Amino acid sequence: MYPKLTDDLDDLPELLMATRAAAERALTSLDTRPVAARAPEAGAAPTPVAGIGTAGALTRFEERWAPWFSGSAGPRYFGFVTGGATPASVAGDWLTSAYDQNAASGGDSAAVDLERETIGWLAELFGLGTEHHGAFVTCATMSNFVGLAVAREWLGEQAGISVTHAGVRALGRIPVLSATPHSSVYKALSMLGIGRDELTLVPVLPEREAVDVDRLAEALAALDGQPAIVVANAGTVNTVDFDDLRAIAALKERFPFWLHVDGAFGAFAALSPRHRGLVDGLAEADSVCVDLHKWLNVPYDAAVQFTRRRDLQFAVFKNVAAYLPPPVGEPAYADLTPENSRRLRALPTWFSLVAYGREGHQEIVDRTTALAARLGKRLAGEPKLRLLAPVRLNVVCCTLADNPTQERVDTLIRAVTGSGEAVITPTAYHGTPGFRVAFSNWRTTESDVDRLCTVLTTAAEHVTDKGNPAPADDSPR
């Protein structure tokens, strides 16, 4: 055995304690470290030849990289929809690595049963019935990909074609309809060979990002009986708008289509009695995408996909070889997802749900939603700023009140991010440049909103017509 491996095996308990201490440093400094960081220019180190052991690697990491990692797991990272990691989910994540299970198929480990149990809990939390089967995937993009892959196979079934065998070309044109699809839907269409250009944008309701269901019905009617894919959105990234899922599902009585719902973070409205109505009808979907590394606050990378047609999903993803045991009972996860070998990605979620339950996770949703409302109210009273949309759930979409050019808005965002106090990210809403403040981190409190308000209003005061010179330490992207 390589000497450093022998040493590390002998010292394993001490090394784990040292790693624990490093993790503690990372987690306890979240409140004080700059929320955004950018490493100084440094060339890549040469490939290590003689190893220095785990203790050496730990020291090297903490010197060379850790100071330049962002505080994205912390309470004032408001970019994108980020979320942090609950203590229980971190514990689960560590043990995922320690046990290093391959949750591809059962037979020699209960790991897949744990995944199945966790999927069942998630289905219940999101109000899905037992007819929905699910699996863990790496992210909402992959979840959308899997849902749309099953949709593609379903379109084949309608035409008497097995797409998994004949290929997507056998289908000809594939109508895909959506009002405000996430960029990952286009990416999934690209990966599936359907093509980004096949997506037709359906008009939205006035002043909204939600689909105009009457216009959707017209678009479906124009297909003259040709089966289609409808991607409904439950929580758009800019303004967290929700399509009327029940009304869309009702159109199935008149038109043949596969209903995929992208509820990457919006599906969490189901946890909150106050907001549950926003996802009414979710259970009618043929496939559903939900991210877990966002509002569930488990570490990257974790999302879940659900579908009613596991038979078609199996047809798409099955992986048969003589050396692989045939599945007994339930199909193997490797036969249902893009990955073959799979990390036991369910364990952090299992830990967090056991540790905090439905109540705890509802509290996170309710609190972060209330914080978004609080910020929205504060900013609505700021003369230099203007809300671009009402705060529907957990995102505040805002811009400068006067002359919100791209340059001026970018300057504002750079000033906030450059302060180290908070990260916010840019967007454009109906053509107007603006910024988003997204709440989803379990640590965020009212005092974090107040700190953001202070930097934001100060920065807004100081945006000149030309835009301020950019601070040296600006956006991490």
Ligand X SMILES: *Cc1c(COP(=O)(O)O)cnc(C)c1O
**Tokens (6 digits) for 151:** 């949709």
Position 425 contacts ligand X (CB under 6 A): no
Instruction: Name the residue nearer to ligand X (CB basis): 71 or 266.
Output: 266
* Selected binder of ligand X within 140, 249, 290, 336 (CB under 6 A): 140
Only one of the segments 243-251, 261-269, 335-343, 349-357 lies at the binding site for ligand X (rule: CB under 6 A); that segment is: 261-269
When binding is defined by CB under 6 A, the residue of 8, 209, 291, 410 that contacts ligand X is: 291
Q: Give the interface segment with ligand X, choosing from 116-124, 152-160, 262-270, 424-432 (CB under 6 A).
A: 262-270
What distance in Å separates the CA atoms of residue 333 and residue 134, rounded to the nearest whole number? 9
Which residue, 303 or 416, has its beta carbon nearer to ligand X?
Answer: 303
**Residue among 70 and 411 whose Cβ is closer to ligand X:** 70
Shortest spacing between CB 130 and ligand X, in angstroms = 25
Site membership for ligand X, residue 139 (CB under 6 A): yes
Residues 164 to 183 in contact with ligand X, rule: CB under 6 A: 182
| Smallest distance, ligand X to C-beta of residue 413, A | 19
Q: Report in angstroms how near the CB of residue 393 gets to ligand X at its nearest.
A: 12
- Of 262 and 286, CB closest to ligand X: 262
Distance in Å, CB of 441 to ligand X, minimum: 15
- 452 near ligand X, rule: CB under 6 A: no
Burial degree of 319 (CB within 10 A; 0-12, 13-18, 19+): middle
Minimum Å distance from CB 209 to ligand X? 11
Q: How far apart are CA 131 and CA 82, in angstroms?
A: 30
Of residues 291 and 448, the one with the C-beta less far from ligand X: 291
Nearest-10 Cα torsion for 42, 43, 47, 49: -60
Number of Cβ within a 10 Å radius of residue 381: 7
Query: How far is CA 74 from each of CA 33, 78, 83, 84, 144, rounded to the nearest angstrom?
Result: 9, 9, 8, 6, 27
**Segment near ligand X (CB under 6 A); pick from 121-129, 222-230, 260-268, 396-404:** 260-268
262 binds ligand X (CB under 6 A): yes
Interacting residue with ligand X among 35, 81, 174, 271 (CB under 6 A): 81
267 makes contact with ligand X (CB under 6 A): no
Question: Residue 300 CB, nearest distance to ligand X (Å)?
Answer: 8
The reply on whether position 337 binds ligand X by CB under 6 A is no
Least Å from the CB of residue 322 to ligand X: 34
Residues of this chain, 230-259, that bind ligand X according to CB under 6 A: 235, 237
Does the footprint of ligand X cover residue 184 (CB under 6 A)?
A: yes
Binder of ligand X out of 86, 141, 394, 425 (CB under 6 A): 141
Binding-site ranges for ligand X (CB under 6 A): 81, 139-141, 182, 184, 235, 237, 262, 264-265, 291, 303
